[in-house]
Amino acid sequence: MSQEEDKFSRRWDVDTEEAIDADMLEAIPFQYPGSATEVTYLYPEFTSVCPWTGLPDFGELTVSYIPRDKLVELRSLKYYFNSFRNVGILQEHVVNRVKDDLVRLLNPLSLTVKARFRPRGGIVTEVQADFRS
C-alpha cells in the first residue's frame, strides 16, 4: 500500500456498543402522576463516533416524555450520554438505543428521542424515534 493510500485508510479505535453504560441511569419518583406533564431534556453536546472510520459525530439530542411515575435523574443521564463518546454507532441507531434504554428505565406514557447531527460530507442527519404505551 502506498503512503497516499495509507493516509485514507486510517482509522481510530472505537468502543463497541457494550461500552454504553445504561446501568448508570437512575430513576427518581415523579410526584404528579396523571398530570400529563411533558418533560424535555436538550443535550447539545452529544458525541459518538462513526463505526467505520472512528471519526467523531457531534449532535444535539432532545428527549421528551410524559412520565407515568418516574423521572430520570439528570446526573445519571449526563453520564449515560457521555458513555457514547467513543462508541462506534450509526447516527440512526443512537436515537433508538437511547429510546429503548429510557423506556426500560422509566416505563413512560410516551417518549420521543430526536437527534440532529452536524454536517458530514455536507449532509445534516436528523433522526426521531417514538414510543407510545
Catalytic residues: 50, 57
Contact between 8 and 52 under an 8 Å Cβ cutoff? The reply is no
| Cα–Cα distance, 92 to 76 (Å, whole number) | 23
Strand pairing partners for 111? 65, 131
Buried b (16+ CB within 10 A) or exposed e, 98-128: bbebbbebbebbbbbbbbbbeeeeeeebebe
